Structure formats: structure tokens, C-alpha cells
Structure 1
């Protein structure tokens, strides 16, 4: 956060943040000088369906998504070696990591197929450990690759909902995600971003929202945007946000923007660019967006001020204290129009009856820019905002503990982006399998950074043989249970980590998982394999499974998004005759199901 100077003389010169901006820009621009060493990971046009820094649930998108059909060849973008192969039911599904001699790393996710020598190594480890999930690491001499060598094929595995290649570039040091567009891949883009909505927030002196309004701007012939009428606000402090999207030439997808700027008259106040995102900082997305609107409507607004200013500063080349390269570049404002609040986070502090001209810009990596212009004036009112009802005040930047014997909540010093007027209520619930009251832990529309630790006490004694079947979680309006797990504490409460505020309780789970046939005929003589689906009445907990054919371990490939377990005879054909497949599935609370079917080959 930066004190506002008293005048606008030389508003950019000698500004320390401008120095940081230049250093970061130079460092990032140096990456693009390596572009001749890199080829595209796919042949033909690169069809972008997801951009770097695009807003996703609790994280920024760490790469580019390229649309392609299943088994489209995937190539190493530069010389190097395969340093890692990751196989999992979710996430990237099957992914290959290639380390390059210049200190960068390329990542290829959601692959359907792997190059034969890579697949053979994965299969050998899976059978040796009798485990589908694998995380294999290699040194430089094991699997060297050359630029343009095929290493796999496009797929739809993991947390993917359509065939595509998820492609990343990273720094090997710290494994930090970089914008792949800086490496010179040819993606024609002459389209400027579209600005759909403007949101104006009225803020109190703490920076907390007292109200907001959403405006649809007018589109001008130039392609830019404006708000025709002067906006009158009744708070001296305001914040602005835009709903804006970008498109490349070859695809109609509405993708995420690369960056944005906020100007007061001619002075740059705030800017951000998605150039470099450490994974450990990616959750700070929730401080740069309208988290409540995402939770309620699944729509994204980019804030043009920082809820957590200490996290949004321009990092020096080797500084990872701030998550994004040249983010939160504050600039001084005209002292005649803006009164200094003593510190600065990108919000605007206005003087009464002094109109201010504002311009908000969104930009893409190719340099296309869209601009929205508006005029704002502050007119004080004698009506003070109503105090927000609450039971506790939790200051941001300090660890907090709330304990009323039945409920205990522990929050670390960085759990809140801003001060919180914390609301709490307890509602009795004696429904079947509900073992505690429902504890309303603040509001799910308030972001919680990382996790908090929640302890809940049951309303009565729980039989010893049921204690392992209890979990801390939530229940939605349809009655579906979601688990956060949990462990019993010495004082008789159950404790678990929670990643959001909301309504929580203790529940009993004694229902075993279900197994259903997806494709599994009793006559498989002409089949290439079979598939079944496992499911559980409680979401959020990992299920373990083990399958055998005639008593020998069977490799079942697990698709986490559908619950499918897929067996291919290419991974082990028992040969002609009658065979017995047996499956055991266990949920996170120890409930088990055994299922079997005989088939003929």
C-alpha cells in the first residue's frame, strides 16, 4: 500500500513501483527472446479455448487450453527430458512434464495416450505397486526428448470436460507458471476484449462494501464503451470492477483477459497483468474478483483494486512475495480531486462535488485494448450506512479463535482478506444421521483464504462402533451430504479443515458405495474391455478400490469426474474361457462394497 503524494508533478518519474514494473517487464520480456527455441505442442492452427490467468474456482488457469480431437499428436516444444509423469483420476489426468536446458519446464495435461516407452514405464510401476495413481520422477538420462518429438496424444482425462490439450510453461526454480504466449507460439489475435458489465462498489473507510450497482455500458462505434450519465455515489470511497472477456481470431470462445488498467483523468492508478503465477499464491484470485457473485451466479468480475494489498505488489525478478508480475501498480491522483486516505489499495477516495473522469481498460496479450469511460461524482448524504449485524469482529491480518464449547473455529493470520463482521448461529436439527446442531459459520459468499479449522461437538453420546463413521460436513437443500472428513479430539469434539464459510454439522455415514454396470456383458469375446461406475452417497471423500480377475490384480483406470472404472484387455487378457472379476470399494468412512461378475473370453 502506497501513501498518496500531495501533487501530480512528475506522476510517474521516480515512482518506486514504476521501477518495479520496469524490472518485471524486462524480466518477462526476456522470456519472449527464447521464442525461436520453441515449437507449438500441436500441429496446425492452435485453437485457444482457455487463456493463462483465466478465472476459475479458487485458482487462476495456469496455462493455455487448445481444442483438438482425441489422440491428436502432442509434441515436445523444445529439447529436454521427461522429468515427471503424473497419472490421477482428477486434475490433469495423464500429464507429462518436460524440463528444458534454459531453466523452463513444459507441461502437457489430459493426455489420452503416452509415447510407448513412457506408457511401458507407467504400466510397469502400476503393476508393481498394484496402484492406478502414479507420480513418477526421472533424471535427464532416462527419457531425453528433442524438439518436435511426439510424446503423447490429446485426451479428455482428469478434470476435463471435452477433448483438449492443457499446456503450461513454468520456471523450473519454484515450479512457477508463466504465460505460454510469451514463448512465441503463433496464435493470430486481432480482436479486442469485450466489456460486458461495470460494477461500482461504495466502500466505508475500512474498505468494506456498503452497496453496489451493476451497469451495462453503451458500445461506441469505435468499439470502445462508455457510461453516458454521470454516476453519483454517496460514499467518498469507491471501487470498480469489470466483467470482460477475450477472444482469439480462430475460436468463438469467451476467454479470460490478460490484464487491465484504471486511469483517473490521465493518471494510471491501478493495473494488472497475468504473466507469472506461483501456484502457492493462486488462491488470491478470490481477492481480485467478486467472490460473492461467483458463488451465487458463477460469473466473474475483475476488481480494479486489491482486497489484500499486501499480497498484490509488483515482485522483483526473484521475489515471490506477490503472486502476479506487475500487479497493483498504484499511481498518484490529483490532490484537487482525490483526498489521501493515508494508504492506497487501488480504491478511489473522492472529494465532495468534484467530478472525476475514469477510464478502465482491458487488454489481451497481443496488445488489443478495449476502454470504458465514465464520470463519477461524490455527493455526501446524512444517512449513514446501517451497521452490519454480527456476533464477532475478526480483523484481517490477525489469527482468530472463536470457541463456545460446542463450536470452535481457528483462523490463521492470512485467512481473511479484509476485516470481517462475523455472523454465527446454531440451529437444532434432529434429522436422521444428523449428530449435531447445524452451525451457521458466517457466510459462504465471503472468501476464506486457505482453510480454517472447525471443531464441532455432537449433541449426545455416539456408540463406539459408529465413531469411525462420523464426519464433519454439510448438507445441501436436496439432502446430499458433502464431507470434510474429521478426527476426534481429546475434548470430545470432531475437528476438520474447511475451505469455505457456510453451514456445518456432524453426520453419520453407514451407507456403502454403489457399483453399477456401464458396459460389462457376460460375453466379452469380441470386446476390448469393460467399465463400471462406483458412487457414494457422500461427496468429498476419496474412495479406494481394488479389482482382480481370477484372483490377480486388474488395472482399472479411474475417471474421477464420472466415477468410471475402465478395464482394457490390452493391459492384461486372461485368455479364452470363463473368468471371475471381483471388485472391492471402500469409502472414506470405512463402508465397503464387494461386487463380482463372471464373463467369457
Structure 2
């Protein structure tokens, strides 16, 4: 009873509903809001940090300031949020607008001025508090598809300005702008034996559990026969009205005989917690099948602040003569909910399969310790807490190839890999790097060199070799031909490719003057806009230089004609 009371008090403390201003922020778009991504949604290596709003499969919608404030940060990048604007507000919050096509008016001029001064498309700017003020409803920018976006949409965030913790915009009244009367969907229920002696339904292996829909809309799972300890996991998603895009669940709670045992709610989290998504998920199943099963227990606790758990950390142990009912409740941000009751019964029936054998190697990695491994000319340093669990590491070096575990093991922080090379001539070493190997495909890892040693920091596992890249990138004209008149075109576009170490820099000059090219890595294009007004009336000579990550460069020169507008 005391344990339950302590859990309830802790839960109330962790999940007390902070009072957020409900009418302070307006919608950043003037069109109806439909979600293409929810707050906390489980993404590759991170939790989604905001709401993604659909833009009717189009770019160019005005993006409005959600409240009065000033632009505190602008980041322009080919990756991540692409073109993004951050606005600080006097109430202590910051709103973020990502994947923009361009900024509006004076803001766009401010960005363009900085890009030409720095001679770089990628800039990060921090205007002073009074430099770029905005009023609620002002046009900050226009929606787009820049950065890592998979289609036109607006990424919108609210953060605490001081702590920079991300907050769910639904807490600020955005739930009123998004109609949702539909309950979440649970499409898979899994049960996991914990420990080599545990048996579930006479099996040592994880199993999917069947569920039956009840008249009240809830589910009852098939009875589970257990000897030992078990944990549960689910695959779940949410749907809003008039929108069939699957979003993540807002809150998951679990109970054993009515006592809360494990749960989490996506109200807020810190950016440096994002990678714990890999601990929350059944990561090997994700890598092997693509299924995202959220595990509702922790075998080895990890410090994800949004989790609440009792002393068992969600692990259930069956006992003779004790009937147990395990309940899972999944809710969305509009308080629509669905639940599953899972009957659990002790059984001493023997397993009909063999216990899952642990493949042992010579290297038992203790996740709480620093670990060093060396063989031949390769060394690997793995800091403490790089992995979530202890396991037998597959470490070997054969014919110059490093094998380090496999990609079914999640990595939380960087591993240091060092190759020593005393054989390659000095003239070739500048072109060498540590490459990840996937079949015949090589992928670049950022590599530094000091003397004979090449070092890379990576969160990837698998096979690695020292590779050499001596081939320069390839540059081709995409929307024009040499010597043609381009008076009716708005842009000058080139395709740039590098098939090994990857593009590092790209620069262009028009009649000897540096011009801005935007890099669209998804389409492998660089784009110059004639509205920058750099060209001359008549003939224009263009020079473009593209370099890869080991210093191979390609030069493209051509000319075209254009009439001054």
C-alpha cells in the first residue's frame, strides 16, 4: 500500500498539469490545421519535437508569427529543419517554424545579406532583441519542403526560452484547432519473457497476443500463462477527424490489478533525451522487421524524464494462486482513449521450445563502464553508457576490416574508431577516410588524421575499413544549355553528385562575383535565383567549384545570355 501511494504521489508530481496560456498563440497558418506528425512521435533516433501541419501538398503558404516577439535565431541548412526561424516571446516561450521555402520581406533581406557577407548558403544568425521585431499574425516566411522534410509541410514547435525544453503545442490550446473524436488504435500487443528461465505460453520467445473487441470499445487479450517475469509492448497510433495520417500516441499508462506500474506522457522533454527512443523501442525488431513496438517496461533503467514507473519498472512477475489483470490504456491529446485488459495466470507447464541462446564472444561489454578494444592496427573506445544494456560484443579485425557488433544494437553516444596506417604513401593519405561497409557500398564517416592515425566518431555499428577517394564530384547543368538566352528563367540550376565521400563545399561565381547557390540535397541540386540581381545585360560567364569531403574538386565553366529585367 505504501509503495502504491508513493508511486501515485510521484506520478502526480511528474505529470501535474502545468497551467499554460491557452489563447496566447495563434495558428501559424491561415488554412485548416491537419496533422502529418504529432508531438513525441517515434522517429528514427529521436522523438518528434513539434507538430507537423499539412500544407495541402503545396509550398508558399504564408507562415504567421504565433504571437508578438522578436526573431532570436535563424538557421539555414540543407539538412534538418532546412530554413528555420525562431521567435522569442515576452511570456517566456519560443516558437519555431521549420522547412520554410523562404522568409518574408525584411527577414529574407537580412538572411540574404548575411549569406553574401559570409559567402555561404548555410548560416546561423542571432539577431539582437530589437533588430527584427514581429507582431502576432505578421508573415514571417512561406511554407516549404526544405531540409530533411519528406514533403511540403510546416514544422511548428514551442519551447521554454530559458531551458530550451520542448513543449507540446496541444498544451497551449492547439487541440482546439484540430478536430479529434477518434480513439487511438492498438494494432499489436507483444509479451516478452524476461530472464532465461521465464516461460510464456510454454515458450521462451516473445509472442504476439490476440485481442477481442468488447461492446464498450475496449479489448480483452487472450489469457497469458506465465512462469517467471514478463514485460509487455504495443504498436499504437492515433488518427484525427478528416485525416487518415497515422500519428503517435500522447499517453500510455499500464496497471497491474489496478496499481499503476509504468507509463509516459508526451508533454515535454529535452533535446538530449531524444535518442532514448531507441531504448523505449524493441530495437532489434525495428531493425529486422520495421515494426515499432513500444516497450512498456525497463529491464535496465534509462534516464528518460517523461517515464514514470514503480519499483518493478513495469516488469510483471507471476505467482501461484494469484490472479492478475494487466491493463494498458492509450490516450490522445484530446482525451480519447482505448484500453486492453490482459489476464495473467501462473503456470508451471514446461516450455516446448529451447531457451534463446545468447551468442557469446570473447568481449562482454559492460555498458556502465568505459571499454577499449584493440586488434592489429585498429582500436575502438566505447565510453560508459554508450549502450543501454550489457551484451557480448562482436569485435574483430580481419584483412583490414573492423567488425563491430551489428546494427540491431542501439547506440546512444559516439564511439571512437582509430585506424593506424603505416603503409600508404603520404601523398595518398589526404584522400583517405574511415568508411562504413554495407555489402559493396561504402559510406563516409567524418575522419580526422594525425600522423599515421585516422579517427572517426560514429553512432553506427557494423563493418568499417580505411577507404580512399580520388574521384572528383560531377557537375552538370540542370535547367539550361551553354550559350542560350535565359531571360525568362527565374533560376539557374545545376546537379552535383559525388559517389563516395560526399559533397562538402559548393561555390559559384558569375562574371567573377560570388553568387549564392542553395543546396537541395534531396534532389542533388544547387540553385541560384536571378532575383539576387548579380547578372549583367548580355553575356554572363559562370564558374562553379564543388569539392568532396577529402578535397577532390570539380570545376564547371560555361556562359549564357540574359536580358536585364
Range into which the TM-score falls when normalised by the shorter chain = over 0.9
Deviation at 1:252, TM superposition (A): 0.6
CA contact under 8 A between 1:90 and 1:561: conserved in structure 2? no
The residue correspondences of 1:550-565 to structure 2 (distance < 5 A) are: 550-565=511-526
Q: 1:576 maps to which residue? A: 537
Q: 1:474 maps to which residue? A: 436
Per-residue CA deviation, residues 298-327 of structure 1 (Å, 9 max, x unaligned), is 331111013552403xxxxxxxxx3x2xx1
Given the alignment, which residue of 419, 424, 430 partners 1:456?
A: 419
Per-residue CA deviation, residues 469-498 of structure 1 (Å, 9 max, x unaligned), is 111121223x221011223355x4422112
CA contact under 8 A between 2:478 and 2:495: conserved in structure 1? yes
Deviation at 1:355, TM superposition (A): 4.6
CA contact under 8 A between 2:81 and 2:147: conserved in structure 1? yes
CA contact under 8 A between 1:288 and 1:307: conserved in structure 2? no
Per-residue CA deviation, residues 265-291 of structure 1 (Å, 9 max, x unaligned), is 211110100111111111111111112
Q: 1:249 maps to which residue? A: 241
Question: CA 1:557/1:488 → structure 2, altered by over 3 Å: closer, same or farther?
Answer: closer
SS at match of 1:410: strand
The residue correspondences of 1:174-193 to structure 2 (distance < 5 A) are: 174-185=163-174, 186-193=177-184
SS at match of 1:417: coil
CA contact under 8 A between 1:523 and 1:600: conserved in structure 2? yes
Stretch moving more, 559-568 or 89-98? 559-568
As a proportion of its length, which structure holds more strand? 2
The residue correspondences of 1:204-283 to structure 2 (distance < 5 A) are: 204=195, 211-228=205-222, 230-233=223-226, 236-283=228-275
Q: 1:77 maps to which residue? A: 66
CA contact under 8 A between 1:481 and 1:538: conserved in structure 2? yes
- Rounded to whole Å, the distance in 2 between the matches of 1:307 and 1:51 is 28
- Rounded to whole Å, the distance in 2 between the matches of 1:420 and 1:378 is 30
Total equivalences in the alignment = 549
- Rounded to whole Å, the distance in 2 between the matches of 1:120 and 1:475 is 44
CA contact under 8 A between 1:243 and 1:300: conserved in structure 2? yes
2:395 paired with 1:424: yes
CA contact under 8 A between 2:196 and 2:355: conserved in structure 1? no
CA contact under 8 A between 1:287 and 1:308: conserved in structure 2? no
- Rounded to whole Å, the distance in 2 between the matches of 1:102 and 1:67 is 27
- Rounded to whole Å, the distance in 2 between the matches of 1:385 and 1:578 is 73
CA contact under 8 A between 1:306 and 1:328: conserved in structure 2? no
Per-residue CA deviation, residues 36-66 of structure 1 (Å, 9 max, x unaligned), is 2111111132111100000111111000000
CA contact under 8 A between 1:193 and 1:244: conserved in structure 2? yes
Stretch moving more, 100-109 or 398-407? 398-407
**TM-score of the two chains, using structure 1 as the length reference:** 0.87
Given the alignment, which residue of 460, 468, 471 partners 1:500?
A: 460
CA contact under 8 A between 1:305 and 1:328: conserved in structure 2? no
- Rounded to whole Å, the distance in 2 between the matches of 1:307 and 1:468 is 46
CA contact under 8 A between 2:191 and 2:232: conserved in structure 1? yes
Deviation at 1:221, TM superposition (A): 4.1
CA contact under 8 A between 1:480 and 1:537: conserved in structure 2? no
CA contact under 8 A between 1:18 and 1:329: conserved in structure 2? no
Question: CA 1:216/1:74 → structure 2, altered by over 3 Å: closer, same or farther?
Answer: farther
Q: Which has the higher contact order (CA 8 A, sep 6+)?
A: 1
Given the alignment, which residue of 8, 26, 40 partners 1:18?
A: 8
Stretch moving more, 564-573 or 385-394? 385-394
The residue correspondences of 1:99-110 to structure 2 (distance < 5 A) are: 99-110=88-99
CA contact under 8 A between 1:287 and 1:307: conserved in structure 2? no
SS at match of 2:67: coil
2:392 paired with 1:392: no
Question: CA 1:379/1:401 → structure 2, altered by over 3 Å: closer, same or farther?
Answer: farther
2:54 paired with 1:44: no
The residue correspondences of 1:508-519 to structure 2 (distance < 5 A) are: 508-519=468-479
Stretch moving more, 354-363 or 78-87? 354-363
Q: 1:329 maps to which residue? A: 309
SS at match of 1:305: coil
Per-residue CA deviation, residues 544-593 of structure 1 (Å, 9 max, x unaligned), is 01101111101101112222101110012413212111111111111111
CA contact under 8 A between 2:62 and 2:139: conserved in structure 1? yes
CA contact under 8 A between 1:190 and 1:366: conserved in structure 2? yes
Question: CA 1:466/1:231 → structure 2, altered by over 3 Å: closer, same or farther?
Answer: same
Deviation at 1:542, TM superposition (A): 4.9
Stretch moving more, 355-364 or 127-136? 355-364
Let me know the Cα RMSD of the aligned residues. 2.2
- Rounded to whole Å, the distance in 2 between the matches of 1:155 and 1:244 is 29
Q: 1:346 maps to which residue? A: 314
SS at match of 2:275: helix
CA contact under 8 A between 2:375 and 2:396: conserved in structure 1? no
CA contact under 8 A between 1:71 and 1:155: conserved in structure 2? yes
The residue correspondences of 1:126-145 to structure 2 (distance < 5 A) are: 126-145=115-134
- Rounded to whole Å, the distance in 1 between the matches of 2:505 and 2:213 is 54
- Rounded to whole Å, the distance in 2 between the matches of 1:18 and 1:567 is 59
- Rounded to whole Å, the distance in 2 between the matches of 1:220 and 1:542 is 56
**TM-score of the two chains, using structure 2 as the length reference:** 0.92
- Rounded to whole Å, the distance in 1 between the matches of 2:60 and 2:356 is 59
CA contact under 8 A between 1:203 and 1:211: conserved in structure 2? no
Unaligned 5+ residue runs, structure 2?
none
SS at match of 1:295: helix
Deviation at 1:378, TM superposition (A): 4.6
Unaligned 5+ residue runs, structure 1?
1-8, 313-321, 331-342, 429-435
